[in-house]
Structures are given as structure tokens and as C-alpha cells.
Amino acid sequence: MAAFDWRRRLAEGIVIPAHPLALTAARKMDERRQRALTRYYLDAGAGGIAVGVHTTQFAIRQHGLYEPVLALAAEETGGHPVVRIAGVMGDRRQALAEAACAARLGFQAALLSFAALPDADTDELLSLAAAVGEVLPVFGFYLQPAVGGRVLGREFWRRFAALECVVAIKVAPFDRYRALDVLNGVADSGRAAEIALYTGNDDHIVFDLIGEFRGLRFVGGLLGQWAVWTRRAVEMLEGLHSDPAAAQWRTLAQHITDANGAVFDVAHGFHGCIAGIHEVLRGQGLLEGAWCLDPDEGLSPGQAEEIARVRAAYPHLLDDEFVKRNRDRWLR
């Protein structure tokens, strides 16, 4: 059997769910349900998983859960042809330690976040990326400022994309102008053909995937939104790849954005964005509750009702029957 060519698969474009963290009511990791989530994504047809990222909760690091969470995902995906991406963040010492841990566990790329470095200048950030790139190939990450990201301009992304260790970029500023800064930077870097562009703009998923700019296209998504209703996301991406010009996508785009507004709690400045993902999975029986590590982080007032509204309005977005058929097996 030929070795899995993860770089080629990444370049072709895949669904990469941002993996949540399953917790008990005591806010301890629920290993059985954590494994079940990974099994769900595999059976749904996801081409990769991203673990230790914003959706997994950055606070896993303070709770000693970074390596245990990655290790469970590595165990469950072992032997499967999926791209394993580990979230990496912090100062140089922390980022290099996390990258080394991920590499040891068999992860293929590091999704590098600069959220913990608000005062570092461009040269410092690029130096960090190059250092991490000596341990694992780098998947860039433009995280929206509303949930801890920092603004990074066109020149930064040109220099970042020029680094030979960079294999992909998740574009997730939730801002069209800032998203274009990344695309312009990649186009000007001289390495556009070597970098896979992934949308992380959960508010603009379909339009990112059907658009083109300076010859560049988003090939897939690494998304918190795709941590729920994943089977439908896989089917959608397959359809987008085969016929991106179909009229149906423009209507579906609006449905998905409306649904995301409820799940990600746009009405309250994204306060409940992670809890909203948990709430959907709780409703499907995959999680026991919507708890987060931080007791102050949970569903906002009215958010559960908003999620119920979009579930009723857009049944074609849901994969409840798929989950129901397989849930007991995943939870064993």
C-alpha cells in the first residue's frame, strides 16, 4: 500500500473540523466522549482534524491537557488516511515544546497561532514561525481579533508565505478586507502554488470556497462550524469541488451563515462560540453538556433558543440521522 501523501491531500482540499473538548459536569476531560467525537469526524468523511486549537480551548494548556488531548486523537486516527494538525501557540519555548510533542505523536503540521504574542513585531513572529517550521511544517492561522487574534497586514502575510516551511494558511479574520490582505500577501510571495488556502471564516464559508482572487482559491476549510453537522459539510465540499458555479450554493451560503450566527453567538460578540458548538453536539447525544473549562464561558442568554431556531429552519444542514445511527458505536 502506498504511503499516505498528506501534502497532496491537503492541497486537494478537505474538511478539517476544529476538534472540541469533551468535558464532564466537573469540567474534567471525558475520554469516552472525546474519542467518540474523533470517531464521528472520521466516519463522517473528514479529511483531517485539528486538535489543540481555539475550538479545543486554548486553556487546555493551563489544565495539563495539551498532550493528553493530542494523544487521544492520534490514537483514534492511527492507520487512517487523515491529515493531523496540532494547534501550537505561545512564546518560542512553549511553541517549540508543543510542536515537538505533536511531532512525536504523529501530527503532520502545526497550526501556529500568534494570539499569545500581542506585542511581538513582524520579525519576531516570522522568526518563531521559522523555528517551529524546523520541527513541523507550518499551517498559518489568522484568528479573528474578537476571540483573541491580532491584526496582521498584507506585508506580514507576504513574508510569512515566503517561508519554505509554510504549507497552508487558515484565513479566519471574519473581515473581508483582512482576508484579502492574506490573499494578496500569498499572491505576492512567489510561493502561491505551494500553499493550500483554507477558509476559517465561519461567517463566509461557501462564498470563500466558490470565489477566486488573483488566481487563488480556497481549497477547503478548517472550521469550528464543521465540528458540527460534519457529514453534511463533507457532502457540501464534494459538491463545491465538482460544480462550484451551481446556483444552489448562493442560497446555501446564507443558510450556513445564519446557522453559524446562532452557534457562534454573534449577538453577544462570540462569547458563546465554543459553548454553542458543544450545545449542538449535546443535542445529538455526543456530548453530555455544553460546559467549557472556564466556568464563566458558556451559552449566552437566548443562544440555545437561537440554535433551536436554525435547526428547525435548516434541516438540510443537519446530520442528526447519521449521528443517531452510529452514536452508540462511537461511544463504546
Q: Is residue 124 in a domain?
A: yes
In a domain, 310, yes or no: no
Judge residue 164's burial from the number of C-beta atoms within 10 Å of its C-beta, 0-12 exposed, 13-18 middle, 19 or more buried: exposed
Residue 273 placed within a domain: no
Residue 307 lies in a domain: no
pLDDT above 90 coverage of the chain, percent: 95
Domain membership of residue 319 (yes or no) is no
pLDDT of residue 148: 78
Contact criterion met (CB below 8 Å) for 287 and 29:
no
User: Are the C-beta atoms of 46 and 230 separated by less than 8 Å?
Assistant: yes
Q: Choose the weakest-confidence range: 20-29, 141-150, 179-188.
A: 141-150
- Does residue 29 sit within a domain? yes
Would the pTM of this model clear 0.95, i.e. be above it? yes
Residues 6+ apart with CB under 8 A from 99: 86, 88, 110, 132, 135, 136
Q: Establish if 101 belongs to a structural domain.
A: yes
| Share of residues in the chain with pLDDT > 70 (%) | 100
Number of structural domains the chain divides into: 1
pLDDT in tens, 125-167: 999 999 999 999 999 999 888 777 888 999 999 999 999 999 9
Sheet holding 166-172, edge to edge: 15-17, 218-223, 196-199, 166-172, 138-143, 109-112, 83-88, 48-51
Residue 137 is part of a domain; what is its CATH number? Answer: 3.20.20.70
Specify the pLDDT at position 28.
98
* Average pLDDT along the chain: 97
237 is in which domain, residue-wise?
A: 6-242
The reported pLDDT for the residue numbered 314 is 98
Give the separation between CA 10 and CA 211, rounded to whole angstroms: 19
- Of 125, 128, 195, 124, the C-alpha closest to 162 is 195
Q: According to the model, what pLDDT value does residue 145 have?
A: 83
pLDDT single digits (tens) 56-66? 999 999 999 99
What is the predicted pLDDT for the residue at 1? 55
Q: How far is CA 174 from the centre of its chain?
A: 14
Residue 147 has a pLDDT of 78
Q: What is the band of 3 on the pLDDT scale with cuts at 50, 70, 90?
A: confident
Give residue 303's pLDDT band: very low, low, confident or very high (50, 70, 90): very high
Average pLDDT over residues 11-40: 98
Residue whose grid cell is 502575510: 157
Question: What's the pLDDT band for 284 if we cut at 50, 70, 90?
Answer: very high
Query: How far is CA 7 from each of CA 3, 48, 113, 138, rounded to the nearest angstrom?
Result: 12, 11, 20, 12
